[in-house]
Amino acid sequence: MIRTQIQLTEAPAARVKASAAKKGVSMAEVIRQAVDSSISRSKDTDPGARFERARRIAGRFRSGAADISTRHDDHLAGSFAS
């Protein structure tokens, strides 16, 4: 493991400390997990990779509604209202 030093303002430091206490781990572990999570999410920023991922899942889900392509806005509005 490589040792490094960071500086946090008071509010984020307090949140990291509270999260560490809640999870029963060190503040360093909370920060390592946050960095890993952030880097994992940033891997999908390539538009080609995101398009390919979307293409692979297209058509895998069925709603039972026959008018999704023409009334998608209505269906989405109904879903978000619930």
Residue 77 resides in a domain: no
Residue 13 resides in a domain: yes
- Looking at residue 63, the DSSP 8-state letter turns out to be -
Residue 71 resides in a domain: no
Q: 34 falls in which pLDDT band (50, 70, 90)?
A: very high
Residue 27 resides in a domain: yes
Q: 43 falls in which pLDDT band (50, 70, 90)?
A: low
The CA distances from residue 24 to 16, 19, 31, in Å, are 12, 8, 14
Per the structure block, which two tokens stand in for 41?
A: 């999410």
Q: Which residue type does 44 have?
A: D
**Over the stretch 24-33, which tens digit does the pLDDT of each residue have?**
999 999 999 9
pTM listed for this prediction? 0.53
Residue 4 resides in a domain: no
Residue 15 resides in a domain: yes
Residue 19 resides in a domain: yes
Residue 55 resides in a domain: no
Domain that residue 33 falls in? 9-38
Total domain count, the chain: 1
Closest by alpha carbon to 31, among 19, 43, 40? 19
**Count of Cβ atoms closer than 10 Å to residue 71 Cβ:** 13
